[in-house]
A and B are shown apart, each in its own frame.
Chain A
Amino acid sequence: MRVLFFAQLKDATGCASVDLPASSPLDAEQLWAALLNQFPNLATHRRTVRLAKNSEYATAETKFVEGDEVALIPPVSGG
């Protein structure tokens, strides 16, 4: 699955996106574990970041599977 980073998360990870292999569906907890393994700098942001899947905010039940576009959404500040 492709994981997108925005705003300050780009600075934290050094990239705009990453491909994350997911052989089986991941829940949010497992997704975060995989991301933090690769990008330890994301740890400080985790509390404020919301997850989105295919352009919609994820819920507690959302499963992330191969082929999904996942986005890490830091606090927004548009307008």
Chain B
Amino acid sequence: MEIEIQLTNSPIPSQVPPPMAEHGAWVEFRGVVRGTENGAGIAALEYEAYAPMAEKEIRRLLSEISTAQPCIAARVIHRLGVIPVGETAIYVGVAGKHRAEAFALVTEFMDRLKQDVPIWKRRAIPLTACADPTPANASIVTHTQPATVDETIALIHECCTAIEPEGVPLTEARGRTLREPVVAPEDQPPFDRSSVDGFAVRLDDPSKSFRIVDRIRAGDWKPRKLQAGEAVQIATGGALPSDGLQVVMKEDVRVTGDTLHIEERDRERNIRFRGEDACAGSELVGVGTKLSSGALALLASIGHTQPLVTRRPRVLHVATGNEIVSPEQTPQIGQIRDSNTSLVRAFMQSRGITPRQIRVGEDRAAIDSALRAPHSAFDLLLISGGASVGEHDFTRALLADLGYTLRISRTTTRPGKPLIFATRGNAVAFGLPGNPLAHFVCLNLYVSAALLGLSGGLEQSGFMTGELADDFASEANARETLWPARLNFIAGTAQLTLLPWRSSGDLTSLATANALVRIRSGCGKLTRGTRLDFVSTEP
């Protein structure tokens, strides 16, 4: 019988081709990770194998069983590492002349695999707080009155629950949110190692001169018991040959031929001891961590090559409006170029998300046909409309027709007062007022809060505090305002220069803005040095 075996860290394809050999039956079986393990909900299972032996055993089993159940070909694929719920852990495909022996072979093989093949479910990865499949936001309040910035962000956090996780290779994991605790598989460092270039001698050996009996470089593994009067030359990072040693730095010794003379010896052992950084089983990176380059290096160092992270959200952005034309076109009188599509795209791309984008006129039939098919597959729907009351109502009606529940239809803060926020199960939607500055504000405050919620991340969000760099004269604000600003760090403090803007259609200030400053209502002239809340818009 022809046998093909694969042990892989990658997902098993949803279609595996049948063998070339002529056959009358092709029986396939997939073992899929279930959502519960020992009665508790889980997000994934982690598998481990003794690969060379597992392959040998699978081959032996298939050959043995096929003497009683003669078949033509068999293919076994077992996935290893973290496998999310619902994905295939094992695939078995058997080709036979007739179905009876092919079915029998698969059945017997699966029974015996679970007895003899050295593959283990290493651990179950529990569901993290947010992965509840039933929408938790049924009881969430809806703001009938205009909401403040704080109320809006709080409501968004309440409504946005983490989308499901997936296992990805390290090359795709930067910036993603970890959804499993990563623990040390063995002690770190895994052996006692020298922290200096020097000579290892017995701690209890008071001699002044020693015979050099060996040399250990980093990467060598040369266990031996040192006798009194013996020393081993050892490089930084080299594995100590036994317990009970001290490494004397090479700066404190003199070497003549094979003889070592110690000129100065203190009590410092110059050893990084096994388990000093972390003991086997201790947590190295926690759930909800956004994976930095440093965290990825740590994961690589322990062989954790398929971390379980939140799937990237699927984002659909629809720019509506009869007055907008694409940036390549020359607008007619009364028309403007569409800048929001570029703004949304750049905002999403800086967060590793590629949105699907559609530009349509304000024609209900056109929007419907653009939205009907794909909207259900998206986690986040953004609709850029105009600022007028008519357009606002249009977006509200559209979201209601699509089955969304309206949560917020106005804020008290400008720009961005006509914000719409709606939910449908675990999916969320925003109706963004069409002018560019309002877009900039709504993306950086509200949509970014939603993305954090969808990611399951635990990082701190919200406002930081900085100082006003120059006096700022303005009429008393009747409303809370978010003001585009240039943020610089000078002598360790965040210095904020407010940028001029007259209307929320004003784009010129956005070119230099990298922050938004919150100016409370009723606030008139502000003097240099005033402490102000801000959010950075360049993460």
Contact = CB atoms under 8 A, between A and B. Distances in A.
A45 interface: no
A76 B53 contact: no
A66 to B, nearest CB: 13
A79 B120 contact: no
B54 A78 contact: yes
A71 B113 contact: no
A76 B117 contact: yes
A40 interface: no
A76 B116 contact: yes
B118 A15 contact: no
A79 B31 contact: yes
A56 to B, nearest CB: 7
Question: Chain A interface mostly helix, strand, loop or mixed?
Answer: loop
Contacts of B28: none
A79 B117 CA distance: 9
A1 interface: no
B186 A74 contact: no
A48 interface: no
B119 A79 contact: yes
Contact of B114 (A55, A74, A79): A79
A16 interface: yes
B50 A78 contact: no
Contact of A77 (B53, B121, B185): B121
Nearest to B185: A10
B114 A16 contact: no
B29 to A, nearest CB: 10
Interface residues on A, range: 20 to 34
Interface in A20-53: 21, 52
B90 A78 contact: yes
Interface in A53-70: 55-57
Nearest to B281: A11
A73 interface: yes
A18 to B, nearest CB: 10
B57 to A, nearest CB: 8
Given A76-B115, A76-B118, A14 B53 contact: no
Nearest to B115: A76
Interface string B110-139: 100111111111100000000000000000
B308 interface: no
Contact of B110 (A6, A7, A79): A79
B49 A10 contact: no
A73 B118 contact: yes
A52 B53 contact: yes
Interface of A: 4, 6-7, 10-11, 13-16, 19, 21, 52, 55-57, 71, 73-74, 76-79
* Among all A-B residue pairs, the 6 with the closest Cβ atoms: A78-B119, A55-B53, A7-B120, A14-B280, A77-B121, A15-B186
23 contacts: A6-B50, A7-B122, A11-B280, A11-B281, A14-B187, A14-B275, A14-B279, A16-B190, A52-B50, A52-B118, A55-B52, A55-B53, A74-B120, A76-B116, A77-B119, A77-B120, A78-B47, A78-B49, A78-B54, A78-B114, A78-B119, A79-B89, A79-B110
